[in-house]
Amino acid sequence: MSDDRLHILDCDTGVDDAMAIGLLLAEAPQTFVGATAVFGNVDVRRAALNTRSLLELAGRADIPVHLGAASSLDGAFWGSGHRVHGENGVGGVQLPNPTGTAGDGEPAPSYLVRTVRENPGRVVIIAVGPLTNLAIALSMDPGIAELVAEIVIMGGAVRHPGNATPAAEANVWHDPEAADRVLRSGARVRLVPLDATMQQRMTGDEQTELAGSSSRFAQAVAQASEHYLDFYTNVFPGRQCALHDPLVAALALDSALVTSEVTTSIEVQLAPGPARGQTVADLRGLYKGPVHREGHTTSVVLETEAGFSRRLVEALTCLP
């Protein structure tokens, strides 16, 4: 992979987004050039504020945070993941007030278009919230689809059940039309669905390790994870939580962890009803029948090597 790549994180900063920010700061400190905020786990202003506070906590006030979409393309959803991420998105933890404003002047979609145009073939967009900012950017300038190096998305559920609904994963469910637009754009897309992210987990012991470290960033993530771990006691046995967004950030930096990946078509279900937001992949192989779509451009990561939480803990604890 070319090492002149630049990374932009498009996030709805809740607890696992905070972990993704930490992973990028630790492992890609030079190439993590900007963040864009979107509604999702919280409203967009809170997402930008959380992102800014976390960057400043790590001493990286130089990384800009651009304010993005406040609602889904259809205007139906403005953000709320309090049940999973706590009232303020970071488990109720009071992060230090940022010195800068929550959002830098240029709106997120314009920033994405401009940065991709100014750096053809170099920009990797890591999308870990609803895909609305990207969908708007692609509508403003469809030509960026072939100029972006890659779009790596935390989203969808292929063989795994949904988490927002029985069929739909939260980031896709919160704006299915945006996800559909991005997946049809022709851009090089790598999708990392729940199939992969639900298998990588942080334990209560690892949370304690973060809390006991000398890193103020790791300590804040440990505190924020308390609510998140509580939520997951209804999902997994014991005390452990899924590492959705940090896994996707890591996969955007290198593919070492990937053990199963397919290139396939992905269709987002848009019709109202129980399947809205479902991501349907064609995994039929030899059984493929007459109905299929040509020109598959989506890589879907189905499995990754166990043990990612160790890499995450090491990354977070080396931050200030």
Nearer to Ca ion, 12 or 175 (CB): 12
| DSSP bridge pairs for 32 | 7
How many Cα atoms within 13 Å fall on the side-chain side of residue 118? Answer: 7
Catalytic center residues: 12, 244
CB of 169 to Ca ion, least distance (A): 11
> What does DSSP say about strands 65-67 and 123-127: parallel, antiparallel, or unpaired?
unpaired
Q: What share of the chain is helix, strand, coil (3-state, %, to 5)?
A: 40, 20, 45
CB of 282 to Ca ion, least distance (A): 26
CA distance 22 to 246: 8
CB of 47 to Ca ion, least distance (A): 9
Residues 6+ apart with CB under 8 A from 103: 37, 45, 48, 65, 66, 67
CB of 291 to Ca ion, least distance (A): 33
Nearer to ligand RIB, 201 or 244 (CB): 244
Residue whose C-alpha is closest to residue 149's, from 109, 190, 179: 190
Residue whose C-alpha is closest to residue 296's, from 320, 266, 251: 266
Q: Say if residues 152 and 248 touch (Cβ distance below 8 Å).
A: yes
- Residue whose CB is nearest to ligand RIB in the complex, by number: 170
CB of 128 to ligand RIB, least distance (A): 5
Residue whose C-alpha is closest to residue 191's, from 301, 265, 269: 301
CA distance 243 to 19: 8
Partner from ligand RIB, Ca ion, none binding residue 170, C-beta < 5-8 Å depending on class? ligand RIB
CB of 316 to ligand RIB, least distance (A): 16
Partner from ligand RIB, Ca ion, none binding residue 22, C-beta < 5-8 Å depending on class? none
Partner from Ca ion, ligand RIB, none binding residue 163, C-beta < 5-8 Å depending on class? ligand RIB
Nearer to ligand RIB, 16 or 27 (CB): 16
Partner from Ca ion, ligand RIB, none binding residue 261, C-beta < 5-8 Å depending on class? none
* Residue 187 CA, distance from chain mean position: 17
Residues that bind ligand RIB (CB under 6 A): 12, 14, 16-17, 40-41, 128-129, 154, 163, 169-171, 244-245
Partner from ligand RIB, Ca ion, none binding residue 209, C-beta < 5-8 Å depending on class? none
Partner from ligand RIB, Ca ion, none binding residue 162, C-beta < 5-8 Å depending on class? none
Nearer to Ca ion, 51 or 309 (CB): 51
Q: Which helix (H) or strand (E) holds 109?
A: helix 108-118
Residues that bind Ca ion (CB under 5 A): 12, 17, 128-129, 245
Nearer to ligand RIB, 66 or 85 (CB): 85
Nearer to ligand RIB, 64 or 89 (CB): 89
